[in-house]
Amino acid sequence: MVEYLATDLPVVIDAYALTFLSNPKIQASLSERYQRRVSTVLTPHEGEAAELGFKEPNRIAQAQSIARAFNSLVVLKGAGTVIADPTGAYAIDQFGTVALATAGSGDVLAGLIAGTLARSSVAEVPLHDVACAVALHGLAGRRAGNGCTATTLIDALVEVHAELADTPE
């Protein structure tokens, strides 16, 4: 992973890969990426954040602490997903629902964020862009409703994206 982090390609670190963040070489690589203004997004849920040593009762402070510690954008998944960057800036998602608390939903979110990073013409993707990916995920979760699976979430995502693309500005 250290070799990949040495590149200027954007990175999303999700699920089991988050366990590698305790490695000092990985931490140094993340710091170097931040100095080069290369996007890295971490997507822990509260349990994964606690495993990393971040057990604060305030979700905003928790996300900000993780972002500062790893010099990365953080998407702290859960009720009121918090998106934070190392400067302390943050956003709170208002669209997610309990329908998203299902196996595979986080994988779909990681894919949406990766797509956002891939589409960007700048190395450093702003918090706003990642927050938009999280909001789109939340809107798709609302559309999919109870009993949401990764597959129904993707189907809903396609529908919501098409509706938003057709909306006049």
Structural domain boundaries in the chain: 2-166
Q: Does residue 169 register a pLDDT over 70?
A: no
Amino acid code (one letter) for 69: A
Report the CATH fold assignment for 2-166.
Answer: UDP-N-acetylmuramoyl-L-alanine:D-glutamate ligase (3.40.1190)
> Is residue 121 very low, low, confident or very high in pLDDT (cuts 50, 70, 90)?
low
Q: What is the mean pLDDT of residues 131-146?
A: 95
Q: How do residues 80-111 score in pLDDT, each as one tens digit?
A: 999 999 999 999 999 999 999 999 999 999 99
Token pair of 50 as six digits: 């606690």
Check pLDDT > 80 for residue 59.
yes
Q: Given a cut of 80, is residue 122 above it in pLDDT?
A: no
